[in-house]
Amino acid sequence: MWDDFAEFILTQATENPTRIVEIAVGKFDGVYQYLKRNENIEIIKTDILPNDDEVIKDDITNPNLELYENADIIYSIRPPSELQPHIERLSRKVGGTFIIKPLCNEDLNISSHKVKLKNYKKASFYIL
């Protein structure tokens, strides 16, 4: 499923290079590692509590907008419900494609009516 999710993100990577930001990465970085292998991808990952040297410390409730400037795609995997509106707001500010993969049984905490459920192979997620 995670490879399918990463593969879908690559289908959205139309710029060369494509700038991608993963928000609230936590400890799982499988999608990041998959995307990082592609030479036309510039990718960073952020979290309020970085767990390794590749993660940039940032508080999404008060984000450092410079980190997200010119992002073509912003995605988050299983972000806590209370962070989802902040991620959505940031995505609107920078204008990138917004992809969110909540927990399977979790409702989205997003105000936009334009967000759509997307199924791609074995992955399901929301895109704005």
Give per-residue pLDDT as tens, 11-63. 999 888 999 999 999 888 899 999 999 989 999 999 999 988 999 999 999 99
What is the spatial distance between Cα 9 and Cα 97, in angstroms, rounded to a whole number? 10
Report the chain's mean pLDDT, rounded to a whole number: 90
Q: Are the beta carbons of 94 and 68 closer than 8 angstroms?
A: yes
Share of the chain above pLDDT 90, in %: 62
What 3-state DSSP class applies to 65? helix
Per-residue pLDDT, 105: 64
What is the spatial distance between Cα 117 and Cα 23, in angstroms, rounded to a whole number? 19
Q: Are the beta carbons of 44 and 18 closer than 8 angstroms?
A: no
Per-residue pLDDT, 88: 87
Per-residue pLDDT, 106: 67
Q: At which residue do the structure tokens 């993963």 appear?
A: 22
pTM (whole model) above 0.75: yes
Instruction: Take residue 53 and report the two structure tokens written for it.
Output: 């040297």
What is the spatial distance between Cα 104 and Cα 75, in angstroms, rounded to a whole number? 16
Domain 1-7+17-73+83-107 in CATH: superfamily?
Vaccinia Virus protein VP39 (3.40.50.150)
Exposed (0-12), middle (13-18) or buried (19+): which is 15, by Cβ within 10 Å? middle
Report angle CA 89, 90, 96 to the nearest 5 degrees. 110
